[in-house]
């Protein structure tokens, strides 16, 4: 029985991996029907600084924490049509383009190479691609080393969620898909895969999926309510102006973009709460198979109350932390209370942050309820029959 279950689990994992490949393939085949501007002659290629021939730089800011000035550099291009060539670049170092290089530094060069004009080279930025990937691999290794098999499985779950968001949700929204339906589909699918990856084919998984999906959907509902009372629309975002142009061309729906953002950002925290409560209640029942649903629910609520304290902090602090630079600017602009509290910026962040937090709070009773009754639905002792577990 157990080996059969293992086999099924293996097949599902293979199916998940294959679907990830399929989504990446789908993404690579997407053709953009609208471009905000034409960059067809621009190629961002890797290069290495072979020489800093001249520089005139000064230390600016408080305590000279950043550098401004000009560097005259030679960069050897390492890929593309110009591979092997060395180009001269005047590197202007400003606050907004703060890329100070030294000899041997790997960089990204913007090579503007139209057929009908002399090429024009500018220094775009440091080459961070390998570093980013190395950091990602280190992170996954950390997860796998400490989390062992579960760590590996949750990495696969995370990978699937990222694939679903980037390779499917984004192009679908871009091309005018229904933001609400697409977001819900993405959330439910990601939840299913993530929960499966965490706890395999088990009743717990099914219950976790139900709680998480219900919790995240409640985030969507609450957000809809909040955005209604705060009179928020797709046009309230900073990016609305640029998005509206895409919208004219592809039918992209701005409100869908907002909704998707709320759903995706709430998903993690909600899943955290749902799975934690699910796990706790599963253990409690394992230890005390005769416990009644009512008692289980009570325990779930008690566990959940402690979590509410930390989880609401998590979301609100994440919002505040991400906004510190913006808040400092707002202080410097002498923003008044009425101006700030009614600004699109605050209204959006409040709607997003509070909708997520409220969803976390709601997930506690949802999850406790689902688990309390779910675990006690089948009256077998200890081990539940495999067939009943099948999703």
Partner 1 sequence: MIKLKRILAVLLAVCLLAVAVPVIAATVEINSDIATASETTTVTTIVDSTTTWSYLDDGTDPSANDSNRHSWTLNDFDDTEWKGPVAGTFGSKNGALGDLGTDGTYIPTVLLNLYIDGSAAPTVPAYFFRTTVTLDADATGVVNGTIYYDDSAIVYINGTRVAGFYADSLTTNLSYGGSNGVTPLKGEFTADATLLKAGENTIAVEVHNSKNTSSDIWFSATEMSIDPSGKMPTEKNIALTMGADETQRNITWYEPYDSSTASVQYAVKDGDTFPASYSTATATVTAAIDQGYNYCKATLTGLAPDTDYVYRLVNDTTVSEIHTFSTAETGDFSFIFLSDPQIGANTTAGSANSTASGLADAEAWLNTLNVALTKFPDAHFLVSGGDQVNNGANEDQYNYFFSPDLSSLSMAVVAGNHDAASNYNEHFNNANTTDYGKYNGSVGSDYWYVYNDVLFMNLNTMSQSTAEHKAFMEEALAQNPHVLWRVVVFHHSIYSIASHSTDTDIINRRNELAPVFTELDIDVVLMGHDHTYTRTYIMNDLTPDTDTGGSSVTDPDGVLYVTAHSATGSKYYSIVSPIASYAAVTNQEKVPAYSNIEVTSTSFKITTYQTTGTLIDEFEIIKTEANSLEHNPTLVAAKDPTCTEYGNTAYYSCDCNRYYEDKACTIEITDKSSVLIAPTGHLSATHHARVPANCLKDGNIEYWQCDACDACFKDEALSKAADNVVISSRGEHSGGETYYNNKYHWTLCEYCAEPYNREEHSDDCDCGYTQNP
Task: Give first-to-last CA distance, the chain, whole Å.
Answer: 16
Residue 201, number of CB atoms within 10 A of its CB: 17
Options 1, 62, 146, 229; binder of partner 1; rule CB under 8 A: 229
Instruction: State the virtual CA torsion across 207, 213, 215, 216 in degrees, nearest 10.
Output: 160
- Nearest Cα residue to 183 out of 243, 263, 247, 251: 263
Options 31, 63, 65, 118; binder of partner 1; rule CB under 8 A: 118
Residue 131, number of CB atoms within 10 A of its CB: 11
Contact between 261 and partner 1 by CB under 8 A: the answer reads no
CB of 57 to partner 1, least distance (A): 13
Contact between 128 and partner 1 by CB under 8 A: the answer reads no
In the complex with partner 1, the residue whose CB is nearer, 69 or 159, is 69
Write out the two tokens for 234.
């797709």
Which residue is associated with the tokens 């691999």?
137
Contact between 36 and partner 1 by CB under 8 A: the answer reads yes
Write out the two tokens for 336.
């008044």
**b vs e for 23-37, b when ≥16 Cβ sit within 10 Å of the residue's Cβ?**
beeeeeeeeeeeeee
CB of 92 to partner 1, least distance (A): 5
Options 50, 87, 119, 335; binder of partner 1; rule CB under 8 A: 119
- Cα 226 off chain centre by: 22
Span near partner 1 by CB under 8 A; candidates 118-126, 182-190, 294-302, 383-391: 118-126
Options 25, 59, 92, 139; binder of partner 1; rule CB under 8 A: 92
CB 369 within 8 A of CB 280: no
By CB atoms closer than 10 A (0-12, 13-18, 19+), residue 61 is: exposed
- Nearest Cα residue to 268 out of 225, 226, 212, 214: 212
Cα atoms in the 13 Å half-sphere on the side-chain side of 226 = 23
Contact between 117 and partner 1 by CB under 8 A: the answer reads yes
Task: Give the x/- contact pattern for partner 1 in 189-228, rule: CB under 8 A.
Answer: ------------------------------------x--x
- Count of residues that bind partner 1 according to CB under 8 A: 39
Span near partner 1 by CB under 8 A; candidates 4-12, 19-27, 119-127, 210-218: 119-127
Which strand ranges, in their side-by-side order, compose the sheet holding 106-112? Answer: 86-93, 66-77, 42-60, 106-112, 120-126
CB of 97 to partner 1, least distance (A): 5
Task: Give the x/- contact pattern for partner 1 in 239-258, rule: CB under 8 A.
Answer: --xx-xx--xx---------
Contact between 325 and partner 1 by CB under 8 A: the answer reads no
Cα–Cα distances in angstroms (integers) from residue 307 to residues 191, 360, 361, in the given order:
20, 9, 9
Contact between 175 and partner 1 by CB under 8 A: the answer reads no
Options 53, 86, 94, 130; binder of partner 1; rule CB under 8 A: 94
Contact between 238 and partner 1 by CB under 8 A: the answer reads yes
What gap in Å lies between CA 72 and CA 92, rounded to an integer? 9
Span near partner 1 by CB under 8 A; candidates 12-20, 29-37, 75-83, 142-150: 29-37
Contact between 58 and partner 1 by CB under 8 A: the answer reads no
Contact between 85 and partner 1 by CB under 8 A: the answer reads no
Question: What is the Cα Rg of the chain in Å?
Answer: 26
CB of 116 to partner 1, least distance (A): 6
Contact between 114 and partner 1 by CB under 8 A: the answer reads yes
- Cα 308 off chain centre by: 22
CB of 17 to partner 1, least distance (A): 33
The residues of the shown chain that bind partner 1, judged by CB under 8 A, are: 35-42, 70, 90, 92, 94-97, 110, 112-114, 116-120, 122, 124, 225, 228-229, 231, 235, 238, 241-242, 244-245, 248-249, 333
């Amino acid at each position: 029985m157990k080996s059969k279950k293992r086999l099924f689990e293996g097949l599902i994992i293979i199916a998940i991996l294959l679907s990830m490949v399929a989504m990446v393939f789908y993404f690579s085949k997407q053709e953009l029907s609208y471009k905000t501007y034409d960059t067809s002659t621009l190629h961002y290629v890797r290069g290495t600084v072979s020489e800093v021939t001249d520089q005139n730089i000064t230390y600016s800011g408080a305590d000279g924490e950043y550098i401004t000035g000009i560097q005259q550099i030679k960069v050897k291009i390492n890929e593309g049509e110009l591979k092997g060539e060395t180009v001269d670049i005047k590197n202007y170092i400003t606050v907004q383009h703060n890329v100070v290089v030294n000899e041997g530094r790997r960089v990204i060069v913007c090579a503007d190479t139209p057929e009908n004009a002399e090429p024009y080279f500018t220094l775009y930025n440091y080459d961070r691609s390998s570093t980013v990937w190395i950091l990602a691999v280190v992170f996954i290794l950390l997860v796998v080393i400490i989390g062992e098999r579960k760590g590996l499985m949750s990495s696969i779950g995370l990978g699937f969620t990222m694939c679903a968001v980037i390779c499917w949700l984004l192009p679908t929204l871009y091309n005018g898909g229904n933001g609400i339906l697409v977001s819900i589909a993405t959330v439910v699918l990601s939840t299913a895969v993530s929960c499966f990856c965490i706890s395999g084919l088990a009743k717990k998984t099914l219950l976790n999926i139900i709680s998480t999906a219900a919790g995240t959907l409640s985030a969507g509902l609450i957000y809809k309510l909040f955005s209604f009372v705060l009179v928020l629309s797709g046009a309230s975002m900073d990016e609305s102006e640029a998005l509206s142009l895409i919208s004219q061309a592809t039918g992209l729906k701005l409100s869908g973009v907002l909704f998707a953002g709320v759903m995706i950002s709430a998903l993690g925290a909600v899943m955290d709460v749902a799975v934690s409560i699910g796990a706790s209640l599963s253990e409690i029942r394992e230890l005390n198979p005769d416990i009644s649903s009512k008692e289980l629910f009570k325990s779930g609520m008690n566990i959940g109350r402690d979590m509410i304290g930390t989880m609401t902090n998590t979301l609100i602090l994440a919002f505040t932390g991400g906004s510190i630079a913006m808040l400092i600017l707002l202080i410097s602009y002498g923003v008044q209370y009425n101006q700030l509290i009614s600004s699109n910026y605050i209204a959006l962040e409040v709607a997003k942050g509070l909708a997520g937090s409220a969803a976390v709070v709601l997930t506690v009773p949802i999850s406790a309820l689902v688990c309390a009754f779910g675990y006690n639905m089948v009256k077998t002792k200890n081990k539940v029959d495999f067939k009943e577990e099948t999703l």
